[in-house]
Amino acid sequence: MTSADQAAEPQSSVFQLFTPSLLPATLMLGGGVTLYAIESYITATVAPSIVRDIGGLPLLAWVTTLFVAAAVLGSIFVATRPRGMGLRGAYVCGALIFATGSLICAAAPVMEVVLAGRAVQGFGAGILAALAYAFVRFAYPEPLWPKASTLYAAIWGVATLLGPSAGGLFSQGSAWRYAFIIIVPLGLLMAVLSPWLLPKATDDRAHGKTPVLQICLLLVAVLFVSIAGTVEHMVTKAALIAVSVLSISLMLVTERRGNNRLLPTGAVMLAKPVARVYLIMFALLFILVSDIYIPYFLQTLHGVTPLISGYLTALVALGWTIAAFFSGSLTGRRASNAIVAGCIIEALATVFLATFLARDNQMASLAILGPAAVAMLMMGFGVGLGWAHLVTKVLRIVSSAEQDKASAAISTLQSLGGAFGAAVAGVIANSTGLVTPGGIAGSISAAHWLYAAMALPGIVTIAAALTLREGRN
């Protein structure tokens, strides 16, 4: 589609996804994303309650690590599923697997069983998340593709705001089990309804063998970098990240040299636009996940309560959601410019955090806290401004035979960006004063260097986004 064609597209709204003809698919696809998002935040909230009830503190970090790794494998399954299994069949599998994992967690007598359930649950969640993108071209006309991505962003934004609060309802005693039990009937219902409510999707994938080596290397990278995000020892953390980077590098080399690929053609060659789109996606999530340290810096440096720090941190998710709705109707050159603007805003927001969050402001002066809060909002706003258009570019660039690979890669990059970002943020913060000397001085140093360093990948996203403007990609 040319820029002139895109400019001529009629204005559309995300609410068109809820018209009678499109509502069934929207409920199913949005429902899959909702299960993934809400359960992620609820589980993070009730995890301490699980430990208090059945023990297993040394294994606590694996509750998230196994879920993330399995989710990556689930997203890959969408692209490498057995020939003859359609997208609707994959959706049924994903919903049933997610429900089964939830049931295992709910009935778990010990932490080891919870971990098994989380792995099963993560695999199902990864399938559902990847299918949300894979189904877009079958469920909606092309002008509505960005609107679908906008809806998914809104779901994650709402989950960020409501998930922890919902998790708090299940934090007492053994009530954490109900946080998993309530998912089971929803998963079963979605599995039953999906063959009737989802559109028929042609399996137009190119024939080829499953790229086992690339999948293994990717899983090693995800597992090691996820573990790195949970360990405190700096040398161990750095070594785990190094192994993860090496594993990813080997995977990319294998992709480039081999004919049996996990990713779409050109995804590992920066000369190709699809590779630059994926790079921007990865880098934006890499930067964004550094918000995990914002509550600590707010409480330590600005004297706000844990509750207020939680609400202020939620501004990041709110910014993403607002921007997604704001830019959802943009097309053609304006959509490409929105990607560039989003990358610029993201980079500037991290610079502002390095300036205003890294201050000794025990009296919570609004002259300092106010700009920091705006920077948090704009940090999410920058990602949300261009994310839907990045997704749409991927779906438009790749061939129909590689659409499932492209869709799975989006979910995989989200997980990779988040995992690598969290791990690297930990290395930066811990090595620049968070632990030694600690206290006010150490926190100021850590906050400054963390967000100053996170501005650097922001510059990379700007450079890559400029090459994606109409007529230059």
- CATH code for the domain of 25: 1.20.1250.20
Give tens-digit pLDDT for 428-451: 998 899 988 889 999 999 999 999
Domain finish residue from 175, 199, 223: 199
Span 269-298, average pLDDT: 93
Quote the Cα angle for 441-446-449, to 5°: 125
Closest C-alpha among 204, 226, 454 to residue 352: 454
Q: Which residue has the higher pLDDT, 329 or 409?
A: 409
Give tens-digit pLDDT for 298-346: 999 999 887 788 788 889 988 998 998 888 788 889 999 999 999 999 9
Note the pLDDT of residue 470. Answer: 57
Question: Does one domain contain both 107 and 189?
Answer: yes
Q: Look at residue 151 and tell me if it is in a domain.
A: yes
Question: Does one domain contain both 320 and 448?
Answer: yes
When mean pLDDT is compared across 247-256, 266-275, 302-311, 335-344, the lowest value belongs to 302-311
Q: Look at residue 246 and tell me if it is in a domain.
A: no
Q: Look at residue 265 and tell me if it is in a domain.
A: no
Question: Does one domain contain both 311 and 438?
Answer: yes
Q: Look at residue 130 and tell me if it is in a domain.
A: yes
Are the C-beta atoms of residues 414 and 68 closer than 8 Å to each other?
Answer: no
Q: How far apart are CA 63 and CA 118, in angstroms?
A: 6
Question: Does one domain contain both 156 and 282?
Answer: no
Q: Look at residue 87 and tell me if it is in a domain.
A: yes
Number of domains in the chain: 2
Question: Does one domain contain both 279 and 150?
Answer: no
Question: Does one domain contain both 284 and 376?
Answer: yes
Convert 231-285 into a string of H (helix), E (strand) and C (coil).
CCCHHHHHHHHHHHHHHHHHHHHHHHHCCCCCCCCCCCCCCCHHHHHHHHHHHHH
Q: How far apart are CA 144 and CA 408, in angstroms?
A: 20
Give tens-digit pLDDT for 46-90: 888 899 999 988 888 788 888 988 998 999 999 888 888 889 999
Q: Look at residue 229 and tell me if it is in a domain.
A: no
Q: Would the pLDDT of 2 be above 50?
A: no
Q: Would the pLDDT of 129 be above 80?
A: yes
Q: How far apart are CA 318 and CA 290, in angstroms?
A: 16
In this prediction the pTM is 0.86
Q: How far apart are CA 345 and CA 320, in angstroms?
A: 12
Question: Does one domain contain both 140 and 289?
Answer: no
Neighbours of 400 (CB within 10 A): 12
The parent domain of residue 104 ranges over 19-199
Q: Using CB atoms within 10 A of its CB, is residue 212 exposed (0-12), middle (13-18) or buried (19+)?
A: exposed
